[in-house]
């Protein structure tokens, strides 16, 4: 294993970029443009956020093949070794159907090492990806909703789902000369979801036999927890349809929590189950190699939701982390936070308007950004990156490294280019028609300033995000400008 550089500058990148542009050429561009010295290699992934070319409908950047990969499916871009997956009905995920002759880890790591670049497996849980719904036996690991029906997402307490991920960890660390693993799970838990607009009932779980057993061990009345979530789902659906309880949406929500304290206990159970998989991944990786670096991606709601932030305790996470990649994407934060405030005003804060809620959220989250109505056009400032980095660094108390995620050309808005109409970008969810004027865009200078702000906040590295295949080269050069300016 290689030693950690003074300042880690990692690029999140998928297999398609190396196939389209060549391994050597791509690595040279990353080093020259972005001063990149580490790779977060996206496998396995079933989401467009890290896999494939540009999201169809958004402008294709100035490198790579100039067409969309409309048939993209995703999957395992490394070579599976079946002996590591014997303890799960999901088995070894076969090679992704795209370019099956290419091994992302096997073909890239040796050439990266020649250049002194570290290599991490960027493992995205992809629990809600529609492409996973047809995966063999996937129906056997799904969550169960408050009515006892199969849900849409996999359960963290299901041993087959847990062992599947641990199989990837063991396979990758045993089979490749990896420097580390970065695991991503962008799920906030059932109670957090119920607060934010009308929910898909199939995403509110889990009450499967495994979770029920854990709940009983914790002394939770499982039936009352289920009843409380049924009432909250009914509340969510009614408020989302425009109905207003006589005492208001917020008071009624709070009354359900008072009547069913098991709801909060179940949210904690869900979060702790997710966190236990972090611990297990850390333990399996370290058992194979004490030198391998293990860390986590903490998604953007850490900046938007005080409720999700309360779930994510940096001090606790640092106990089983070598590093934490905190999403602090300042450019797309504007449109995303605009939409988050609008969404929560469709549920928990339905008694108020977004313009009323926004200043309160700024205070609660210790943020200081522009006016609410202008956020989609302005984004967040680079100083937001510095302040959130400082908060994360203080939270881990020196036990773990903080690598902020730096936004480079992450798409915002609905994809409407070249006559295509596609679903809204997951995680962005803002319509072009919501506001007048063009949405915010990254520039070389904004990337430079955000990167400098992260290091000013105490970061020991940065992760250029979300994926190389959606970045403009000149904007990537902004990261290189920042890093070289610090040398």
Q: Give residue 27's pLDDT.
A: 98
Residues 159 and 147 sit within 8 Å (Cβ to Cβ): no
Q: Give residue 6's pLDDT.
A: 82
* CA-to-CA dists, residue 325 to 8, 185, 335, 378, angstroms: 12, 12, 21, 24
Position 477 pLDDT exceeds 80: yes
Q: Give residue 40's pLDDT.
A: 98
Q: Give residue 5's pLDDT.
A: 63
Q: Which residue has the higher pLDDT, 134 or 433?
A: 134
The full set of domains in the chain, from first to last, is 8-186+272-486 (3.20.20.80)
Position 424 pLDDT exceeds 90: no
* DSSP string for 384-426: HHHHHHHHHHHHHTTSSEE--EEESS---S----TT---PPPT
* Mean pLDDT, rounded, for 17-37: 98
Which helix or strand (DSSP H or E) is residue 182 part of?
strand 180-184
Q: Give residue 133's pLDDT.
A: 78
Q: For 186-203, how does the pLDDT look when each residue is reduced to its tens digit (9 = 90+)?
A: 999 999 999 999 999 988
Q: Is 65 left (phi over 0), alpha (psi -120 to 50) or beta?
A: beta
Q: For 323-369, how does the pLDDT look when each residue is reduced to its tens digit (9 = 90+)?
A: 999 999 999 999 999 999 999 999 999 999 999 999 999 999 999 99
Res. 433 pLDDT band, cuts 50 70 90: very low
Position 434 pLDDT exceeds 70: no
Q: Residue 355 is encoded by which pair of tokens?
A: 């313009």
Position 436 pLDDT exceeds 80: no
Residues 241 and 266 sit within 8 Å (Cβ to Cβ): no
Residues 87 and 161 sit within 8 Å (Cβ to Cβ): no
Position 162 pLDDT exceeds 50: yes
Which helix or strand (DSSP H or E) is residue 293 part of?
strand 293-298
Res. 415 pLDDT band, cuts 50 70 90: very low
Q: For 122-152, how does the pLDDT look when each residue is reduced to its tens digit (9 = 90+)?
A: 999 977 777 787 899 999 999 999 999 999 9
Q: For 34-62, how does the pLDDT look when each residue is reduced to its tens digit (9 = 90+)?
A: 999 999 999 999 999 999 999 999 999 99
For the chain, the average pLDDT equals: 93
Burial status of residue 359 (CB atoms within 10 A of its CB: 0-12, 13-18, 19 or more): exposed
Q: For 258-279, how does the pLDDT look when each residue is reduced to its tens digit (9 = 90+)?
A: 999 999 999 999 999 999 999 9
Alpha-carbon gap, residue 157 to 162, rounded angstroms = 7
Q: Give residue 215's pLDDT.
A: 98
Q: Give residue 438's pLDDT.
A: 85
Q: For 212-246, how does the pLDDT look when each residue is reduced to its tens digit (9 = 90+)?
A: 999 999 999 999 999 999 999 999 999 999 999 99
> pTM, whole model, 2 decimals?
0.94
């Amino acid at each position: 294993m290689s030693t950690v550089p003074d300042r880690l500058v990692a690029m999140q990148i998928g297999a398609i970029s190396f196939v389209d542009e060549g391994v050597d050429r791509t690595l040279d561009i990353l080093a020259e443009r972005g001063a990149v010295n580490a790779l977060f290699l996206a496998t396995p992934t079933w989401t467009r956020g890290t896999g494939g070319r540009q999201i169809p409908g958004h402008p294709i950047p100035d490198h790579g093949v100039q067409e969309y990969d409309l048939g993209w499916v995703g999957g395992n871009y490394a070579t599976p070794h079946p002996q590591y997956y014997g303890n799960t009905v999901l088995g070894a995920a076969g090679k992704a159907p795209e370019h099956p002759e290419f091994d992302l880890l096997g073909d890239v790591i040796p050439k990266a090492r020649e250049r002194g670049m570290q290599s991490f497996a960027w493992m995205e849980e992809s629990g809600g990806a529609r492409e996973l719904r047809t995966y063999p036996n996937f129906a056997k690991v799904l969550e169960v909703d408050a009515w006892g029906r199969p849900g849409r997402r996999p359960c963290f307490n299901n041993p087959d789902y847990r062992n599947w991920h641990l199989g990837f960890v063991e396979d990758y660390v045993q089979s490749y000369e990896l420097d580390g693993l970065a695991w991503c799970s962008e799920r906030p838990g059932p109670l957090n979801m119920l607060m934010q607009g009308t929910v898909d009932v199939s995403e509110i779980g889990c009450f499967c036999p495994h979770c029920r057993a854990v709940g009983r061990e914790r002394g939770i009345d499982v039936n009352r927890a289920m009843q409380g979530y049924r009432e909250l789902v009914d509340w969510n659906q009614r408020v989302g349809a425009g109905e207003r309880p006589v005492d208001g949406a917020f008071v009624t929500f709070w009354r359900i929590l008072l009547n069913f304290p098991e709801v909060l206990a179940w949210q904690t159970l869900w979060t702790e189950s997710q966190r236990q998989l972090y611990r297990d991944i850390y333990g399996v990786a370290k058992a194979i190699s004490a030198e391998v670096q293990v860390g986590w991606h903490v998604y953007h709601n850490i900046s938007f939701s005080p409720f999700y932030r309360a779930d994510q305790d940096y001090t606790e996470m640092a106990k089983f982390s070598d590093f934490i990649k905190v999403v602090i994407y300042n450019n797309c934060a504007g449109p995303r936070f605009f939409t988050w405030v609008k969404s929560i005003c469709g549920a928990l804060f339905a008694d108020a308007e977004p313009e009323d809620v926004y200043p309160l959220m700024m205070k609660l989250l210790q943020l200081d950004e522009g006016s609410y109505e202008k956020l989609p056009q302005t984004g967040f400032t680079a100083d937001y990156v510095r302040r959130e980095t400082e908060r994360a660094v203080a939270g881990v108390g020196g036990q773990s490294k903080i690598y902020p995620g730096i936004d480079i050309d992450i798409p915002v808005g609905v994809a409407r280019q070249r006559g295509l109409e596609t679903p809204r970008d997951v995680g962005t969810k803002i319509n072009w028609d919501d506001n007048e004027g063009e949405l915010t865009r990254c520039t070389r200078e904004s990337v430079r300033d955000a990167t400098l702000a992260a290091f000013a906040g105490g970061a020991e590295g940065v992760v250029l995000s979300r994926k190389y295949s959606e970045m403009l080269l000149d904007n990537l050069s902004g990261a290189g400008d920042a890093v070289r300016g610090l040398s």
